[in-house]
């Protein structure tokens, strides 16, 4: 949520370098963007509403030779997307960009207004800027004034800051919003994430909460929360800048869908025997959005097969309720980014309440990965599209391994189950690739969906969990309203939405639930619905042909793997539908990739 970059350069290219890095962060927010530059000791600001391309267009006629620059791409929290609310903000001697939310900004603002200060924007960030400026005017000490202000701020912030009288130095601090420092021979960076700077350097330092940094073009100094100077390890990123390119695909989302078969194949089949799962008799899976849906899929595998009671909780709810954690509760936190604010807060709460926390995370070195008792990385590679695809599948694949590990440790894993599982893992990559390559099939279905404003997804058992993910994919990228329902629950209210032509997508891959699900499909057909059935090759669909408008037949694989095929179909239906509606696939409106605010 909001991308930030700061660069102090040995050359006069800070502005162009900062903007090229900022483009790699656009997935974090794209309501407006801006850059502050130090040009011959003077701070200039350039801002534009909308995407970073608008900012580039705006500054293309300026000859900018900047030794230092801080830049920002915004996901609006306080105040509408506008140039006035865009960052950077400048008050007095201080210019800054901000990612996060200062929760007590109104009180601070009232106080500053009463002291005669004026604000031009509606943002909490300008208030933070004003407060640091106020403290600087009192103390004359830059680092001390930032610290004094941070002592008052509640909430989350990553704040790169430039002072008018020291325009070639970037000061920065972080709390609950990510910030790293990048080091190169040509200069030094601060950034929301390492991916942004990979074209320039792969050497970086992870900052922890309440750490401060002072960056010039040839020096980086890091300080702890008491402003004592500290040394920190310099890491080397193992990903290359190429992984952050579209590489010929029309969209990052499509590229990431195509990467899925390899990603899941690499994960599946591992046992996590370094964790003694027999110590636990119940699991809380806590996550947001698609990561929570991955947990829903896993719940069926964990309860039906590993025989362990599993509750799946939305992190924003979990963090504010009584969760009845006992010594035999295992908490599993799932997050692609590893920075989701609610998920991170839920992790902290669970730890405070004495739970052992296992995290399943993609981004190496992220806050959740660092704070969990144990982290299993999914190593899905960078995910740039806002709508997750390979991130989700990698979570499901990892949780599948967890379920199988528990079965093994409890003596519940039969050889025949393992034989089918391993045999199918060998085939899964090819089967998934074949499904992805059936693009014409999804395009034909998208043609029937894209003019509708409501779509229903129904299924039973593990398929009902896949429905939730399919429905979310459709609504977030095509802006069609959709609902996912456990098929048996439909007639308790929601079936009233089915009218002539209402699309109903039914998933029926679970053998013992097939007939019941088909009955539910028929109920929607009887009310005029357009019916698409997604099922497996072992089911006889000939005798229900009259009830079907379309059918997609999937290969039959182990029950542990089927949902990984189902979701590919759902992702591509959403993708092709969104294309027909002319939507912005990789950057859907109102969304951002990494949700670092509550
Ligand atoms: C949907 C999507 C979101 C994320 C959610 C959690 O396509 O991407 O629902 O799944 O914001 O994000 P992470 O996994 O980064 O915690």
Domain boundaries along the sequence of the chain: 3-243, 246-413, 436-587
Query: Best of 27, 252, 289 to mutate for ligand 1, by most ligand atoms within 8 A of CB?
Result: 289
Q: Is there a catalytic annotation at residue 593?
A: yes
Mutation test residue for ligand 1: of 29, 260, 290, the one with most atoms within 8 Å of CB: 290
Could you tell me if the CB of 387 is within 6 A of ligand 1?
yes
69's CB contacts (< 8 A; 6+ apart) are 6, 7, 14, 15, 17, 18, 35, 36, 37, 38
| For ligand 1, mutation pick of 336, 364, 380 (most atoms within 8 Å of CB) | 336
Of the candidates 336, 344, 341, 388, which has an alpha carbon nearest to the alpha carbon of residue 362? Answer: 336
Ligand 1 atom with the shortest distance to the CA of 391: 14
Shared fold status for 246-413 and 436-587: yes
Does residue 586 line the site of ligand 1, with CB under 6 A?
A: no
**Closest ligand 1 atom, CA of 392?**
10
Q: Identify the architecture of domain 246-413 in CATH.
A: 3-Layer(aba) Sandwich (3.40)
* Predicted local distance difference test score (pLDDT) of residue 242: 83
In the numeric block, which tokens belong to residue 598?
A: 């509550």
Pairing of strands 530-536, 550-554: parallel
Tell me which of 27, 257, 291 to substitute to probe ligand 1's pocket, judged by most ligand atoms within 8 Å of the beta carbon: 291
CA distance 35 to 229: 29
Predicted local distance difference test score (pLDDT) of residue 181: 98
- Centroid of ligand 1 to alpha carbon of 133 (angstroms): 36
Q: Which residue's alpha carbon is nearest to atom 10 within ligand 1? A: 290
pLDDT at res. 597: 74
Give the Å distance between the CA of 163 and the centre of ligand 1.
36
Q: List average pLDDT for each run of 10 residues in the chain, which is 598 residues long.
A: 93 95 85 95 95 93 94 87 92 96 96 96 96 97 98 96 97 94 98 92 95 98 98 91 88 97 97 97 98 98 98 97 96 96 96 97 92 97 95 98 98 95 96 97 98 98 98 98 96 94 98 97 96 97 94 97 98 98 93 78
Nearest-atom number in ligand 1 for the CA of 386 is: 8
Q: Which CATH number is correct for 3-243, 3.40.47.10, 3.60.20.10, 3.40.50.410, 3.30.230.10?
A: 3.60.20.10
Atom of ligand 1 nearest to the CA of 387: 7
Ligand 1 near 290 CB (within 6 A): yes
Of 2, 15, 129, 150, which one is the catalytic site residue?
Answer: 2
The alpha carbon of 388 and the centre of ligand 1 are apart by a number of angstroms equal to 6
CA–centroid distance, 594 to ligand 1, in Å, is: 7
Active-site residue, from 23, 47, 51, 593: 593
- What is the CA(288)–ligand 1 centre distance, in A? 6
Is residue 291 lining ligand 1, measured as CB closer than 6 Å?
A: yes
Name the pairing type of β-strands 180-184 and 155-163: unpaired
Q: Three-class SS of residue 538? A: coil
CA proximity to 287, closest of 313, 322, 311, 324: 313
Q: Is 378 in the pocket of ligand 1 (CB under 6 A)?
A: no
Is-catalytic flag, 150? no
Phi first, then psi: what are they for 511, rounded to 5°?
-55, -50
Does ligand 1 have an atom closer than 6 angstroms to the CB of 289? yes
Q: What is the pLDDT of residue 76?
A: 82
- How much distance in Å is there from the Cα of 389 to the middle of ligand 1? 10
Any ligand 1 atom below 6 A from CB of 559: no
Tell which atom from ligand 1 comes closest to the C-alpha of 340. Answer: 16
Helices (H), 271-414: 289-304, 315-318, 341-352, 367-371, 390-409
- The domain covering 436-587 belongs, at the CATH homologous superfamily level, to Glucose-6-phosphate isomerase like protein; domain 1 (3.40.50.10490)
Cα 71 to averaged position of ligand 1 atoms, centre (Å)? 25
Torsion of CA 275, 279, 283, 285, to 10 degrees: -30
Does residue 288 line the site of ligand 1, with CB under 6 A?
A: yes
Among residues 334, 372, 366, the alpha carbon closest in space to that of 350 is found at 372
Atom of ligand 1 nearest to the CA of 594: 15
Rounded Cα distance between 358 and 420, Å, is: 28
Nearest in space to 225 (alpha carbons), one of 110, 116, 137, 148: 148
């Amino acid at each position: 949520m909001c991308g930030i970059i700061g660069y102090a350069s040995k050359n006069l290219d800070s502005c162009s370098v900062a903007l090229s890095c900022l483009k790699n962060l656009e997935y974090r927010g794209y309501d407006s963007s801006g850059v502050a530059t130090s040009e011959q000791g003077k701070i200039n600001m350039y801002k534009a509403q909308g995407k970073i391309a608008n900012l580039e267009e705006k500054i293309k006629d300026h000859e900018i030779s900047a030794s230092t620059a801080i830049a920002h791409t915004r996901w609006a929290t306080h105040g509408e997307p506008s140039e006035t609310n865009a960052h950077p903000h400048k008050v007095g001697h201080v210019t800054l960009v901000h990612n996060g939310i200062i929760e007590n900004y109104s009180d601070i603002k009232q106080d500053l207004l009463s002291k005669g200060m004026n604000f031009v924007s509606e943002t909490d960030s300008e208030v933070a800027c004003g407060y640091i400026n106020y403290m600087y005017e009192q103390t004359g000490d830059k680092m001390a004034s930032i610290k004094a202000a941070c002592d008052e701020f509640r909430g989350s912030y990553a704040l790169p800051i430039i002072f008018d009288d020291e325009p070639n130095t970037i000061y920065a601090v972080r709390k609950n919003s990510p910030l790293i420092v990048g080091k190169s021979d040509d200069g030094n960076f601060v950034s929301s994430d390492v991916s942004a700077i990979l074209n320039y350097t792969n050497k970086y330092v992870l900052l922890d909460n309440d750490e401060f940094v002072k960056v010039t073009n040839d020096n980086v100094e890091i300080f702890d929360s008491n402003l004592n100077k500290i040394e920190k390890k310099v890491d080397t990123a193992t990903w290359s800048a190429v992984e952050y390119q579209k590489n010929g695909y029309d969209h990052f989302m499509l590229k990431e869908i195509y990467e899925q078969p390899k990603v899941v194949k690499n994960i599946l089949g591992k046992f996590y025997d370094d964790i003694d799962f027999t110590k636990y008799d119940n699991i809380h899976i806590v996550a947001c959005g698609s990561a929570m849906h991955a947990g829903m899929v896993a719940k069926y595998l964990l309860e039906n097969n590993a025989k362990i009671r599993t509750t799946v909780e939305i992190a924003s709810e979990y963090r504010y309720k009584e969760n009845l954690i006992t010594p035999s509760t295992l908490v599993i936190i799932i997050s692609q980014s590893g920075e989701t604010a609610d998920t991170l807060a839920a992790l902290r709460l669970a730890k405070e309440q004495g739970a052992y926390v296992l995290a399943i995370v993609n981004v190496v070195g992220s806050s959740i990965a660092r704070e969990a008792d144990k982290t299993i990385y999914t190593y899905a590679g960078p995910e740039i599209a806002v709508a997750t695809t390979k991130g989700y599948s990698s979570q499901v694949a990892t949780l599948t391994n967890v379920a199988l590990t528990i079965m093994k440790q409890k003596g519940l894993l039969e050889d025949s189950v393992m034989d089918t599982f391993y045999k199918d893992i060998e085939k899964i990559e090819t089967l998934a690739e074949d499904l992805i390559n059936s693009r014409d099939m999804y395009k034909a279905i998208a043609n029937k969906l894209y003019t509708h404003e409501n779509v229903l997804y129904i299924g039973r058992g593990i398929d009902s969990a896949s429905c939730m993910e399919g429905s979310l994919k459709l609504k977030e990228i095509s802006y069609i309203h959709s609902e996912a329902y456990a098929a048996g629950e439909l007639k308790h209210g929601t079936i009233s939405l089915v009218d002539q032509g209402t699309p109903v997508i039914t998933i029926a891959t679970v053998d013992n639930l097939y007939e019941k699900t088909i009955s539910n499909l028929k109920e929607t057909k009887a009310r005029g619905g357009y019916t698409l059935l997604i099922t497996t090759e072992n089911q006889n669909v000939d005798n229900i042909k009259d009830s079907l408008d379309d059918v997609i037949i999937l290969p039959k694989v182990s029950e542990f793997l089927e949902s990984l095929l189902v979701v590919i179909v759902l992702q591509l239906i959403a993708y092709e539908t969104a294309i027909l509606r002319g939507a912005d696939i990789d950057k859907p409106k109102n969304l951002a990739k990494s949700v670092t605010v509550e």
